[in-house]
């Protein structure tokens, strides 16, 4: 039987003021997973006022209460670890992503994020400004206030945790809107917060669509900062809306990751890493390494080994343990993938594999797509430049470091990329020259909660994770004392 969720506002589970609801369906077979409340601007207003009240009480946000906040974060982490099976299943059902990924990575990493920021909560401090005669001058790091958070569908709980954990650690209060496709694990996070008795109004979760609930949240005058993860197009819209009241913004946006394979790499390691980077989460990953550049001397070897491995990938139901690639999120996303594949062919690309939906009748009701590899595409073709957000990659040849850098940097995006070489000095030279927020050397897609993550160029602004991610939820006050 389908689940039913209300919204979590001011410590209570409530319907939408309009009494409207929306459905969450499994993209793999269209079955109804849950019915959730559909928020409008009135609901957003109630949630923001609750967050404002909780912040203004000064109990939650006081720097003296950092150990108390840390305690809540630790409890959340413990429960997430304990409930990984249930949460992973819910996540896979609503997002279409393989259960192997949600149960091994997403939920545990979300828990780790809460533990990490619990440890940092009591260490937020300012600095002493250099002394002058009869002056004491120092800075304080204070919470910003009410944070409006909006997250996408591809890592629903994990990406929410990247925001919620540091924002709470720093003493802010939150109104969080998950994707309309995948609100369930974020609502479960609210359940956990309720169970551990987090003060009313500190975390509020509203469920609804971007155009109404999302825009109402971004424009609300009592929201002090917006932290958004999603597409670059929506990020541009959000920045435009935030400009009206000069809200602070953190934007984690799209990408078109370059993955550079030098001839002196460990080939097996590189083939595995490029596979993971390209097809993990059926390619619905902002950091996906979708532009693979291979140095000419190993072109034939790489392409042949890579194709052998790709053909073994199992596209299947997200709840099957042997599934490597699940379902795309929606018909719209499937249409987008099909559009770009036809553009790739029209622009001269040669398909090495994929380029179609799987023929297995058991998958006919879902938005599945085969892993797809193009070669012979001009570097400026649409499929080399636009984020497709599906299992479609291009492999192109290069000769030497300079050409690799030029090809990799030929993009409006700058989120993340990889370099495969056994010459570590060359790897480090490349890291310096690539216009990316993250560079992996002999790895692709490793995210550590301790390390900052975010984009160069049109991939965003601000950072999540690491100490940088915590400081992004603080503002600096200078205190000057005449002695």
Binding region for ligand NAD (CB under 6 A): 150-154, 159, 177, 179-180, 209-211, 214-215, 218, 229-231, 234, 237-238, 252-255, 286, 387, 389, 415, 455, 460
Q: Residue 49 Cβ, how far from ligand NAD at the closest point, in Å?
A: 19
Q: State in angstroms the smallest separation of the CB of 288 from ligand NAD.
A: 8
Q: Which long-range contacts (CB under 8 A, 24 or more apart) does 130-136 make?
A: 134/482, 134/483, 135/480, 135/481, 135/482, 135/483, 136/480, 136/481, 136/483
Tell me the three state secondary structure of residue 402: helix
Q: For residue 265, with 0-12 CB atoms within 10 Å meaning exposed, 13-18 middle and 19 or more buried, which class applies?
A: buried
Q: In the complex with ligand NAD, which residue's Cβ is closer, 172 or 281?
A: 281
Distance in Å, CB of 160 to ligand NAD, minimum: 10
Question: How many C-beta atoms surround the C-beta of residue 183 within 10 A?
Answer: 29
Q: 5: which residues sit within 8 A by CB, 6+ positions away?
A: 34, 35, 36, 37, 183, 184, 187, 207
Query: Among the options 188, 286, 295, 384, which is catalytic?
Result: 286
Nearer to ligand NAD, 235 or 427 (CB): 235
Extract the tokens encoding 222.
């009592």
> 355 vs 414, which CB is nearer to ligand NAD?
414
CB of 464 to ligand NAD, least distance (A): 7
Which two structure tokens, joined as six digits, stand for 467? 């100490």
Rounded to the nearest whole angstrom, what is the least distance from the CB of residue 232 to ligand NAD in the complex? 6
> Is 252 considered catalytic here?
yes
In the complex, least distance from residue 346 CB atom to ligand NAD, rounded to whole angstroms: 23
CB of 61 to ligand NAD, least distance (A): 25
Residue 35 near residue 65, CB atoms below 8 Å: no
Find the shortest distance in angstroms from Cβ 329 to ligand NAD: 7
Say if CB 169 and CB 142 are below 8 A apart: no
The answer to whether 368 and 331 are in contact (CB under 8 A) is no
Question: Which two tokens mark 97?
Answer: 């992503």
**Which residue from 393, 384, 382 is spatially nearest to 303, judged by alpha carbons?**
393
Counting other chains too, the contacts that 12-15 makes at CB distance below 8 Å and 24 or more residues apart are 12/200, 13/194, 14/46
Query: Could you give the maximum distance between any two Cα atoms of the chain, in Å?
Result: 80
Taking alpha carbons only, the member of 472, 469, 443, 438 closest to residue 456 is: 438
CB 44 within 8 A of CB 9: no
| Helix/strand/coil for 326 | coil
The DSSP call for residue 319 is T
For residue 106, count other CB atoms closer than 10 A to its CB: 25
We find the least distance from the C-beta atom of residue 256 to ligand NAD, in angstroms, to be 9
CA distance 145 to 5: 27
Phi-psi label, residue 354: left if phi above 0, alpha if psi -120 to 50, beta otherwise: left
Q: Among residues 91, 101, 188, 252, which one is catalytic? A: 252
Q: Which is nearer to ligand NAD, 66 or 217 (CB)?
A: 217
* Nearer Cβ to ligand NAD (216/303): 216
Element (H, E) at 292: strand 291-295
> What span, in angstroms and rounded, lies between the C-alpha atoms of 351 and 374?
5
The Cα–Cα gap between 119 and 90 comes to 28
Q: Any idea which residues carry the catalytic annotation? A: 252, 286
């Amino acid at each position: 039987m389908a689940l039913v969720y209300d919204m979590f506002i001011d410590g209570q589970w409530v319907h939408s003021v309009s009494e409207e609801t929306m459905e969450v369906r499994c993209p793999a077979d269209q079955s109804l997973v849950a019915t959730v409340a559909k928020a409008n601007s009135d609901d957003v207003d109630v949630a923001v006022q609750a967050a404002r009240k909780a912040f203004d009480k000064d109990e939650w946000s006081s720097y003296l209460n950092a150990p108390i906040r840390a305690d809540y974060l630790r409890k959340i982490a413990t429960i997430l670890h304990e409930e990984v099976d249930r949460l992973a299943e819910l996540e896979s059902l609503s997002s279409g992503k393989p259960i192997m990924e949600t149960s091994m990575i997403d939920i545990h990493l979300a828990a780790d994020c809460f533990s990490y920021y619990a440890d940092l909560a009591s260490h937020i401090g300012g600095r002493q400004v250099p002394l002058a005669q009869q002056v004491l001058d120092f800075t304080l790091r204070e919470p910003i206030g009410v944070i409006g958070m909006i997250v996408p569908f591809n890592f629903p709980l994990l990406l929410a945790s990247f925001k919620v954990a540091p924002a709470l650690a720093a003493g802010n209060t939150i109104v969080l809107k998950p994707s309309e496709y995948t609100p369930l694990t974020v609502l479960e996070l609210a359940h956990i917060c309720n169970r551990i008795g987090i003060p009313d109004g500190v975390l509020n979760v509203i469920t609804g669509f971007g155009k109404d609930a999302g825009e109402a949240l971004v424009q609300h005058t009592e929201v002090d900062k917006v932290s958004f993860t999603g597409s670059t197009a929506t990020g541009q819209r959000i920045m435009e809306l935030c400009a009206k009241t000069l809200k602070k913004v953190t934007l984690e946006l799209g990408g078109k990751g370059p993955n550079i394979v030098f001839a002196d790499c460990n080939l097996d390691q590189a083939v595995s890493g490029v596979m993971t980077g390209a097809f993990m989460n059926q390619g619905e990953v902002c950091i996906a390494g979708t532009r693979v550049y291979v140095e000419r001397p190993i072109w034939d070897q790489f392409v042949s080994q890579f194709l052998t491995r790709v053909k073994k990938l199992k596209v299947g139901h997200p709840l099957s343990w042997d599934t490597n690639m699940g379902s795309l999120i929606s018909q719209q996303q499937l249409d987008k993938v099909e559009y770009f594949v036809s553009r790739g062919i029209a622009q001269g690309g040669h398909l090495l594999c994929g380029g179609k939906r799987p023929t297995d009748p058991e998958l006919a009701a879902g938005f599945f797509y085969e892993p797809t590899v193009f070669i012979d595409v001009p570097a400026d073709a649409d499929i080399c430049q636009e984020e497709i957000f599906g299992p479609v990659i291009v492999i192109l040849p290069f000769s030497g470091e300079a050409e690799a850098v030029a090809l990799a940097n030929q993009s409006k995006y700058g989120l993340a990329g990889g370099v495969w070489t056994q010459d570590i000095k060359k790897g480090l030279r490349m890291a310096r020259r690539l216009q990316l927020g993250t560079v992996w050397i002999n790895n692709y897609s490793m995210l550590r909660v301790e390390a900052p993550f975010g984009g160069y160029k049109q991939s965003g602004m601000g950072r999540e994770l690491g100490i940088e991610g915590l400081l992004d939820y603080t503002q600096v006050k200078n205190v000057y004392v005449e002695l």
